[in-house]
Structure 1
Amino acid sequence: MDQEQEEKWYSDGDDDSIGYSFKEYDITSTPNDFNTKTIIDFIESGLFKIPGFQRNYVWDVKRASKLIESIIIGLPIPQVFLYEEGKNSYLVVDGQQRLLTLFFFHKMRFPRKDKRFELRQIFEESGKFPDEVLYDDKYFEDFKLKLNEPGVENKLENLNYATLGEFKNGFDLRTVRNIMIKQNFPSDDDSAMFEIFNRLNSGGITLKPQEIRTSLYHSQFYNYLYKINLYPNWRRLLNKAEPDTHMKDVEIVLRGFAMLMDSENYRPSMTQFLNKFSKKSRNYDANALEYFQNLFQAFCDYIVEVDPNLFVARTGKFSITIFESIFVALCFDALKNKTLEIKKTSLAKVVELQENDTFNRASQDNTAGKANVETRLRIAKETLG
C-alpha cells in the first residue's frame, strides 16, 4: 500500500476514478512564439489566466533561477499549453510554474514558501497579486538569481531583472513556444480540456480530479466553495483541521451541492457529472452564492448539534456517501423553498439509515452507478423525512 492510500481519510468506494470513456475530438492547435515581455503583459492583462494557482507555486529560487538562465543564454524551455476559453481569453493548462517564474522575475519578487497557501487564496479572490501584497515582505522576498555551484561562479549570480545589464534585452526578446488549443467538437462541453489537462500533467506530481477541475472551471461559485470548506463546523465534521492537499474536501462540498441541485441529471461517471455541474455553476449570481453558503453552514451547525461524528463510517473514515445522502435529504425542502430551515431528524433515524441493507449495498460497490446513487438518495429521504 502506498503512502497516499495509507493517509486516505475518506471513504468513497470507487468514485476517485477519472471516468475515462473513448471519445474523438476535433481540436485546433496553433503554435505561437511570444517573447517574455509580451507573455508578462498577457499575464498582467488577464489574457493568459492562471486560475487559482492550480497547485501552489512549488519551485524554489534555485530552480526558478535555472529557468531564467536558460532563457538568457538561449537554451530552449518546454512549451506552454493554453486552452482558448473565448475571445482573448486563454487558460493555462500546462506551464504555470514557468509562466509565474517569468512574472516573479520581472517583478523582482519571489513568494515565501510558508505563505504560498495564503497567496493562493489571495490570487483566487482577486485574480492577481495586488501590489500591496506583491511588495509586502511578509509574503514576498527580493528575487535575485541563485546560480553559483560549489567551486563555480556564475556571472548572473545575484542579478535581478533591473540589474541584468547587457542581458536584459536578450531576456525581454527571447521567445517561448505557446500552443493555443481550441475544441471545435464536441461543442457542448469542455471534456477535451479536462482530458488535455489530465494527460499533460500526468507526469511527476499526479493530480486528482478536483485539482484539475478547480483550474478548468474556476468561477465565483468555486470561490464560495473554498470559503465554505474553511467553515469551522465543516472542518469539525470532517475531523480534519487543515484543507486537503489534493482538494478532496472541496470536491465533497461540490458533490453535495451537485447532488442536491442536479441529481435528476446524474449520469456516470461521477467525475464527468461534477465537471458538468461545475460548468453550470458559473451562472449563479451573488445572491444565489450567498444563499448556498448560508445553507451549507446551517446544515453543518445542525449536524454538529446532532452528532459531530455523524459522517464517520465504521472504518473511522469520513463517508462521502453518507454525507451526500443526508445533506440532500435534510436540505432538499429548504432549497426548494429558498429558506435555511434544515429538516430536523434524529440520531436514531440516522442509525436506521446506516443499518439499512439496501442503502449499504448501494454505498459499497459501484457507488457511482446511476441506480446506486438514486437508491441512496431515495432511501435517505424516506428514512430521515
Structure 2
Amino acid sequence: MNPINTSENANFEEDNVEIEQNDESLLLMDKPFDPTKINIETKTPSLDTLIKRVLHKSIQMNTESYFQRQDDLWDPVKQSRLIESILIRFPLPAFFFDATDDNEWLVVDGLQRLSSIRNFCVVKDPKKRLKLTNLEFLSHLNGMTFDELSGDLQRIIEESQVVIYKIMPGTPTDVKFNIFKRINTGGLVLEPQEIRHALFQGKPAVFIAELGKNADFLKATANKIKTHRMLDRDFANRFLCFYLFGYANYTPDLDTFMSKAMANINEKTDLELEKIKSDFSEAMKLSKTIFGDEAFRKVSNNYKRLPPINKALFDAISTQFALLSNEEREILKSRRTLFKKALKNSLTQDSLFFISVTSSTGDKNRVFKRHNTIELLINQIISA
C-alpha cells in the first residue's frame, strides 16, 4: 500500500494541520530534570489573603497576557454556586501559582474560581460585581452582593482556609514547564506553546509572536494555521529551535528543545534577530515558490484531497531552506519541479522518512531522519 494515501485519512487539527501521533515511550527526555530542583511551597492561608492580593494587584489576573486564557468564563450561576460552597464550608480545590515574582503571582490553575471570588468580594462597579443568583441551599441570599451579606457571613468567606501551591523562585525553567504541563486542570488545559509563552515573557515571547505574524509565513501556509491556542507560534518555535541549534544537536524531548530556543533569544543581538527573521522569510518565499498550495503537506502524485499541513515537514523544510545561501536558493528555485518530485518520491518510497513526519516526531532518530533527508535532497538537486 502506498503510505501517502494514509494522510487522506489523517486526523485534522482545526481542519488544516495534521495531528501528530505520539508513542509516549519514544518521547522521554534524554536527561530528565533533577526532581530535587522542584521547589514548591504548600500554604493554607485564609481566603482573605488571596482577596487582598487580588485587590492590590499582586496576582496577575489578566492571564491573557501570558497564557491567552480568559478569565470570567463562568456564568453568574456557576460563580454564585462557588460562593455558596464557601459559605456552607465546602473545601475548595487547591490553587497553583507561579510565585517567581512575589509581587506578581501568575495563576497556573484556579483562574475561574479566583475570578468568581474577585467578582464577588473585590469588584465594586455595580455593572460588573457579582450578585448571588440561583443558589441551591442559601436561596434567601439570592440578589445579594458581598457588601449586603451580614458580618458573620462575610467573615466565613474571609476566614475560609484554602490550599495554595507556590512555585518558588529558582525553580529551573524546564522544571516549571513540566509542572505547568502536569497540573493545569482548568476548563481550558494549556497547550505547550502557551506555557512557553508564559515562561518566556518579554523579548522571546515578542519575537516568536512576530515570526508567527510574518507575512511570508502566512502566504506559504495560505493563512491556514490558526492563531487560536498559539498554534502559529508553535510552528515558529519549531523552526527556531532547529535553526538555532541544528538537528544534529537535538536531544529529546521536543518541548524542552523548543523552550531552550526561546530562552536563547535573550542572548541574541537585534542584528542577529533580524538575520533570523530574514532567513525565515526567505525560507517561506522559497517554499511558496516551489510547492504553492502544497507547501508542508504530505502529498502523493495523485491525491484526491489536499492533505493538511504537517508540523514535522514544516520544521525540516523551513529550517533547511533558511540555512541556504541566496545563490543556493536561486538554484533550487530554478529546479523546483525536480525538487518537488524528489520529495514526493521520498515520501512514497522511503517508509522511514514517511514515519519520521507522521508519528512520534520528537524522537531523536526521526528528527535526524527527516532533516537529513531534506538536506540530502536539496544538495542532490543543487549539485545535479
Q: Secondary structure at the match of 1:147?
A: coil
1:191 aligns with one of 163, 174, 181 = 174
CA contact (8 A) 1:54 1:212 kept: no
1:257 matches 2:240: yes
Instruction: Specify the alignment match of 1:37 in structure 2.
Output: 51
1:369 matches 2:352: no
1:350 matches 2:337: no
* Distance (Å, rounded) in 2 between the aligned partners of 1:301 and 1:92: 40
CA contact (8 A) 2:59 2:107 kept: no
**TM-score between the two structures when normalised by the length of structure 2:** 0.70
* Distance (Å, rounded) in 2 between the aligned partners of 1:205 and 1:379: 38
* Distance (Å, rounded) in 1 between the aligned partners of 2:272 and 2:369: 28
- Cα deviation, 1:106-164, whole Å, max 9, x if unaligned, reads 23579xxxxxxxxxxxxxxxxxxxxxxxxxxxxxx6233251269984424263x6666
* Distance (Å, rounded) in 2 between the aligned partners of 1:193 and 1:206: 16
Instruction: Specify the alignment match of 1:127 in structure 2.
Output: none
CA contact (8 A) 1:80 1:179 kept: yes
* Distance (Å, rounded) in 2 between the aligned partners of 1:371 and 1:242: 27
Q: Which has the larger radius of gyration?
A: 2
Q: Secondary structure at the match of 1:179?
A: strand
* Distance (Å, rounded) in 2 between the aligned partners of 1:150 and 1:172: 21
Instruction: Specify the alignment match of 1:93 in structure 2.
Output: 108
Identical-pair percentage:
20
1:141-290 equivalences under 5 Å are 142-148=128-134, 153-157=139-143, 159=145, 166=151, 176-182=162-168, 189-202=172-185, 206-231=189-214, 233-239=216-222, 241=224, 243=226, 245-263=228-246, 264-284=248-268, 289=273
Q: Secondary structure at the match of 2:163?
A: strand
* Distance (Å, rounded) in 2 between the aligned partners of 1:295 and 1:164: 62
Q: Which has the higher strand share?
A: 1
Q: CA deviation at 1:267?
A: 0.6
**Aligned length, in residue pairs:** 341
* Distance (Å, rounded) in 1 between the aligned partners of 2:23 and 2:229: 12
Shift in alpha-carbon separation, 1:72–1:261, aligned structure 2, 3 A:
same
Q: CA deviation at 1:366?
A: 4.9
CA contact (8 A) 1:64 1:101 kept: yes
Q: CA deviation at 1:31?
A: 1.2
* Distance (Å, rounded) in 1 between the aligned partners of 2:11 and 2:359: 21
* Distance (Å, rounded) in 2 between the aligned partners of 1:77 and 1:252: 38
CA contact (8 A) 2:109 2:185 kept: no
User: What are structure 1's unaligned runs of at least 5 residues?
Assistant: 111-140, 335-339
* Distance (Å, rounded) in 2 between the aligned partners of 1:92 and 1:53: 9
What RMSD, in angstroms, separates the aligned Cα atoms of the two structures? 4.1
Shift in alpha-carbon separation, 1:213–1:157, aligned structure 2, 3 A:
same
CA contact (8 A) 1:11 1:318 kept: yes
Q: CA deviation at 1:318?
A: 0.6
Shift in alpha-carbon separation, 1:39–1:173, aligned structure 2, 3 A:
farther
**TM-score between the two structures when normalised by the length of structure 1:** 0.70
Q: Secondary structure at the match of 1:308?
A: helix
Instruction: Specify the alignment match of 2:6 in structure 1.
Output: none
* Distance (Å, rounded) in 2 between the aligned partners of 1:329 and 1:265: 15
Instruction: Specify the alignment match of 1:25 in structure 2.
Output: 35
Instruction: Specify the alignment match of 2:17 in structure 1.
Output: 10
